[in-house]
Structure 1
């Protein structure tokens, strides 16, 4: 058949087959896209080791000041992903030059203490209450501009430059907090907490504990941090309520602050916030903080929280947005920094999270990561009819098509391609006839299933005849090549690639509990069904039924996940290597393949079986709360496949996709479980913003990992695919504004 006739034939098939499914049917299990609070961090670094950072405050104008051992500092520059720094605050020299020893917030204004007075620049500068403690270092404001001030051990109650009361403690005074509800001050000294009543000038010992580190008044309670947890006691009666030592992310508490009714803790291993379910949100690693050694926490401007560490300040911003808003943010992230020759690429070689210091890298999985991004843009286009999405589809499909044409092997997809001279020429990299380009060989099954997923989404859903035609031709090209080569991907050397093997002799050589036997059967049947659906060529249908009926591929793909495990010691080395533990890359391949396996099933009987296999897989994955798996399982029907957890996953995934080093294995609020085949480490998975950045082929129960900010991942495959396929399937609604 000549090219012209083949194009006409393909377009006719598009017209007949491309309308099988249509968008617009909303799922019965439907979650509205309501605004939620998205958190992200703006950091201000400080590198002067001779200066100690002490506290941070912010007034009603949003002005932020940091008190240090060498005077007042303020944040300079700084935006999301581009840290600023702390610099000397010289905006108002008459204050900066006074030798301030403590600062606090009173009536939403910043107030200070120095060796002469409690003072402020608010109230037209009228607050200047002189005191008689030349070494004053601490103070707290009470009612009606009354202040309790302290030096090492002496206490004075001060108002309008008059000392109303004097007292002293036996140990060094470390902090003072005021309880407005009961008109009491609480004073922390070394190993002791006292209360002081301004009404009767009574100083009373409340408790003793050698491990005390900080105090805070939080509503009707006083919280006392220690080096091993914290105490709670009633602010009015002073009676002990509870002592919490366990179930904290880290027990060595350095500060406790009540911010807008929320209780925040600082520690030597990060900060954490107490949630309504008595669990903690954990803020650690350079995703959130310049250092994990937290010194102070306070309320910041515009609903933010300020966390001061020994290496600088973090402003935890909290912005209300919808998932659609987040999608638009990530769409921009991908296009600005992650498109390389049409591929969806990682930025690597970065220095300490600086996204401008890295370069886009080639990857063994360029075809897979791009396929997932490309499919996401297809679903975006179907939902929104965005011309921008359609152009993104064109550009990435061009890159995918060139994978097939840049090498000299008919029908063989390259892993990647790059301009000559930028990659080390190991055996994977091959030269093209064009002296400007090289291509990467040894293509794997990961790429093949990703290609078929993306191409079929275009062929089925995109209302552009040229794109449909190209996608169908690529499906036909890849699958015709595998059949011609006896169900292998055959490389430049005439040998099958390591992983591109769907031949029954290879597949069924694995013992039945080895996952590769199931995954290869599932993927290949789905690929053949897809090729038949869009081309109508009987060879694909005949091959698929032959593999299912004669070689057990249906039995293989239907095998319950509970039967997948380690190969026996008597098995061959390859099978034992393949089954040392659960392969989370297989999960990604399964789900990319489920699109074609289920939607293009040859008949209803097979479709019912495939649904059973997909739901069985989802049940095994359920503890991971993996947003993409939960959402994609909805292709089989209207049951609720933990879609609330999928929304939680999408909401909790951080905006910062820099691969910071993250550690959680030290935490005391997680429940470890015994080692197991699936490598689940703890009873309940942590939120995505507390874990390292990873793609869908990673284990969400990995507690530690990352690369010190040396790379930034693309949201294209990680976040945009689950969101947009959720919108397409109708399980995520349109954005609902307030």
Structure 2
């Protein structure tokens, strides 16, 4: 629908110059800073093995966890299991400070510091393997249509139930008992039972810490709050049905067990915990939660614990920093990348290796350190950033001379010591020819790993455009924020301009040691505008080369870069190409590596653009791009967009409108940073069977299986702690992610948006 505006106002604004934000200013007017208080972070772990499979758990005084297992009864206290009794135990509960368990011999009571045990007979006809047990001031048993009370003597007081008991719960505050039967849910009122809900197929009951009554049924979950019932199902965000357990949390929340993981619900947010990041096994038989909100799970793989650890964003950053320093810096230059584990999940030993994108990933870590230095002035951050600059510079130095010298300004993908196995044995000509059969873009390069002039290094060829984007993104940022003086700024500028000069001299191709363009090194107008195969790269690569030229002009002051940029715009329409850098038929489409590149390009292109009209165009382009990306809960993209769209306005035939980002992007960004898992092992995360997922349409990803791609019913991707994150080019719509626990990602994907948010004052901490 057309928007009506005052035509005189529109005409006046058509010639107005919209103020440009300061270059890399550490402030923004996009939003008031979010003050992030200490918060609770969930951290999964596995307890030592029990002699038998645990089937029931209960929390007792002092946070002691009791476990009934196939071979006995045990308690978790002081960081270890203590066996209390032998023989299969079926259910466990607490009677004050005493521990009670249903066993084949009867009701076992364990008390005192030494857990002295006595056994009492069960009521006639009660099967300890089938009976329900609830603790409290006394013990309550239920089986069939009978309820039995036991104070502290040997006699059981029977009571008739309004049906055969399926589930039982007892309020810790009032002692009120609730029972679910085939006909509904009943609660004890004096001597009588009162039906409080007719919900069918209730399997589990619990009173929470606020004395609200919860049920888990075949159709979903319900809670009685203030006399009214509220039901939740998959349409409300419930991830799964088929419950095996229901346990109150520490603060009005509840935990649910299923055969495919655990679910926590606080009345607003659902959290799905599945896979070895969270649980030793997905099939959950029982759950217990202590007063500190630590949750314990009896699973098919043993007893697990999800710790509720109080922390801050800064403390999380420190954990990732220390892990990167200890594990993830490869070669004396300190290239940052994930590591492999010889034994799944065992962090005591790891193996480093090169990747296709060592330069890009290291550049992004370096950018995090620059933002950290800009926000904190920590000299350690400056030192880290300087080492990254030297590492990236070396990727340009190492290609000169040697067995197959590249043109000046060419940057290697990666390096490997020549004392290692020759990588050309694997990356050989026949392998290239085989790949080219199914990929016409694939280059045949012999050798793919030339040797350096000093004979110490193999360096990898066929460098991609995303590698270049990483170099430019970091180097420009380092130049503006971290370089200590003019001499260091000139040093950085020389590194930027040698690659830019290479591109200009090569007619905007990135030329390898064979003097032919790399697979993705096409920025030439004839290629981008004339080759129909390049339709998807046209907008992005146009934007990329304009960003490179703008950066080179900014750091050097040389007008030749502005002239080259102007020529691409005036003669070849690269400004128009840049208006639409993402080719996709809708939300969830496209390529995440392209998204990562585009947003890094926007950060500098908008900062350095001097022409008001072009700046307005770049801002509109970013705004449109972010409209597609906003559902991905990506703080890195959000902070770039918020930084560069602040106070920007678009003007068209209908008048002006502001380009400030709408919606809860800041709250979502903070939530993502809070949820970021400390466990960066690539354990498999499976979301395919979730009922709160809507699959992407086939038209969005015509070359992929739509059943394996999706988002939640609320229109957002699953949260960061329910999928695998290595880098921000990971596909957040992919429902099956991760592997077998043999790879550990580094924490750059957290550090970069965190320190960017701190530097640009989107987030603050006490």
TM bucket (normalised to shorter chain) is 0.7 to 0.9
Q: Secondary structure at the match of 1:430?
A: coil
Match of 2:518 among 497, 513, 516: 497
Partner of 1:574: none
Is the aligned partner of 1:473 residue 2:499? no
Q: For each residue in 1:427-471, what CA deviation from the matched residue of structure 2 results, as whole angstroms up to 9, or x when unmatched?
A: 432223444321111011111111011111111111423543332
For 2:466 and 2:727, the matched residues in 1 are separated by 14
| Structure 2: segments with no counterpart, 5+ residues | 1-20, 429-447, 648-659
Q: For each residue in 1:124-169, what CA deviation from the matched residue of structure 2 results, as whole angstroms up to 9, or x when unmatched?
A: 98997944549646564566x4322367887532223142523688
Match of 1:102 among 91, 115, 130: 91
Match of 2:302 among 300, 312, 320: 312
Match of 1:446 among 434, 452, 466: 466
Residue 664 (structure 1) shift: 1.1
**Structure 1 range deviating more: 146-155 or 609-618:** 146-155
Q: For each residue in 1:458-508, what CA deviation from the matched residue of structure 2 results, as whole angstroms up to 9, or x when unmatched?
A: 111114235433321110111111112221111111211111111111111
CA contact 1:42–1:315 (8 Å) conserved in 2 = yes
CA contact 2:95–2:138 (8 Å) conserved in 1 = no
CA contact 2:264–2:271 (8 Å) conserved in 1 = yes
Partner of 2:259: 268
For 2:514 and 2:604, the matched residues in 1 are separated by 31
Partner of 1:727: 758
Residue 65 (structure 1) shift: 3.2
Is the aligned partner of 1:630 residue 2:638? yes
For 2:113 and 2:63, the matched residues in 1 are separated by 17
For 2:411 and 2:635, the matched residues in 1 are separated by 29
Residue 88 (structure 1) shift: 6.1
Partner of 1:258: 248
CA contact 2:185–2:198 (8 Å) conserved in 1 = no
> CA 1:57/1:21 → structure 2, altered by over 3 Å: closer, same or farther?
same
- Counting only pairs closer than 5 Å after superposition, residues 499-538 of structure 1 correspond to structure 2 as 499-511=520-532, 514-538=535-559
Q: For each residue in 1:262-296, what CA deviation from the matched residue of structure 2 results, as whole angstroms up to 9, or x when unmatched?
A: 1221111111122333x521111111111111111
Q: Secondary structure at the match of 2:694?
A: coil
Q: For each residue in 1:171-222, what CA deviation from the matched residue of structure 2 results, as whole angstroms up to 9, or x when unmatched?
A: 9976542245665434567x5778685964x678999999554333346664
CA contact 2:328–2:338 (8 Å) conserved in 1 = yes
For 2:248 and 2:600, the matched residues in 1 are separated by 46
Partner of 1:569: none
Partner of 1:286: 276
Partner of 2:723: 691
For 2:679 and 2:362, the matched residues in 1 are separated by 20
For 2:623 and 2:598, the matched residues in 1 are separated by 12
Q: For each residue in 1:30-56, what CA deviation from the matched residue of structure 2 results, as whole angstroms up to 9, or x when unmatched?
A: 2223222221112236497xx332112
Q: Secondary structure at the match of 1:352?
A: coil
> CA 1:479/1:123 → structure 2, altered by over 3 Å: closer, same or farther?
closer
TM-score (normalised: structure 1): 0.83
For 2:417 and 2:581, the matched residues in 1 are separated by 45
Q: Secondary structure at the match of 2:344?
A: coil
Partner of 1:15: none
Partner of 2:697: 674
CA contact 1:514–1:565 (8 Å) conserved in 2 = no
For 1:127 and 1:348, the matched residues in 2 are separated by 48
Partner of 2:7: none
Partner of 2:330: 340
Q: For each residue in 1:614-665, what CA deviation from the matched residue of structure 2 results, as whole angstroms up to 9, or x when unmatched?
A: 2221122122222111101123225346222222222222222211211112
TM-score (normalised: structure 2): 0.80
For 1:348 and 1:229, the matched residues in 2 are separated by 43
Partner of 1:16: none
Is the aligned partner of 1:161 residue 2:160? no
Partner of 1:10: none
> CA 1:464/1:417 → structure 2, altered by over 3 Å: closer, same or farther?
same
> CA 1:106/1:74 → structure 2, altered by over 3 Å: closer, same or farther?
closer
Partner of 2:412: 414
Is the aligned partner of 1:597 residue 2:605? yes
For 2:230 and 2:669, the matched residues in 1 are separated by 38
Q: Secondary structure at the match of 2:240?
A: coil
Q: What value does the CA root-mean-square deviation take over the aligned residues?
A: 3.6
